[in-house]
Amino acid sequence: MPYVTTSDGTEIYYTDSGSGRPIVLSHGWPLSSDAWQVEIKRFADAGYRVVAHDRRGHGLSSKTYAGNDMTTYARDLAAVVEHLDLHDVVLVGHSTGGGEVVRYAAQFADGRVAKVVTAGAVPPIMVKSESNPEGTPIEAFDDIRASVLKDRSQFWKDLAVPFYGFNRDGAEVSQGAIDDFWRQGMLVNLAAAYDCVKAFSETDQNADLAAIDVPILIAQGEDDQIVPIADAALKAIEIVSHGTLKTYPGAPHGIFGDYQDALDADILAFVAD
């Protein structure tokens, strides 16, 4: 299996498919590169080299106790990109992965990044504070941590339902998607799953967004129940210099179904433009 060993000895698993201009995919919490299987095939079939890694603690990467923070995640991504010597890169990040690619593009890219795409991404910052009164109260994230610690197996099953919008009237529920969410979630070691909550909710990325000097597509479902759009995409687009906003009526947080089809088409159009 292909791995990159980081400076602190963590082994980061990655997949590398197709050939052409590189598209690098960064997954959400608590998933893995498996969340990108449809995109890996679609983008590779469209003539791109598609790289997707498992964040530390997730998937097949090392089960880490330390380094579960946004800056270390971005450094790990840099290790993958530099190991493969990728240039003219298009970064695509979903949810927590959106925070990861934004931090990487802002602080570690070293001229390797040409475009950025985020989908349902956590920047600029999720948690409510005096400077971010529209944010989500810290108690909500405390509840997530408590659920992960108490019974993460059941929590992943419960979380998958609003993640994919399966709790909405008329939704076509996929038990397979719920089961696969649980499967990927159970691959995360507890310390990494727990600490990542702080990383995705409390990391202030206003400065990161302002520092990005390449085109960025900021995409989000308008019915995102996990990362509220008013405190995410609608704020981020006001901060970036070269941004395009694309929202999807009725679409959830999880990339699935009609939303997945539309988003993937928009990503390919943005890359080709």
Q: Which residues are catalytic?
A: 95, 224, 253
DSSP collapsed to 3 states, the chain: CCEEECCCCCEEEEEEECCCCEEEEECCCCCCHHHHHHHHHHHHHCCCEEEEECCCCCCCCCCCCCCCCHHHHHHHHHHHHHHCCCCCEEEEEECHHHHHHHHHHHHCCCCCEEEEEEECCCCCCCECCCCCCCCECHHHHHHHHHHHHHHHHHHHHHHHHHHCCCCCCCCCCCHHHHHHHHHHHCCCCHHHHHHHHHHHHHCCCHHHHHHCCCCEEEEEECCCCCCCHHHCHHHHCCCCCCEEEEEECCCCCCCCHHHHHHHHHHHHHHHHC
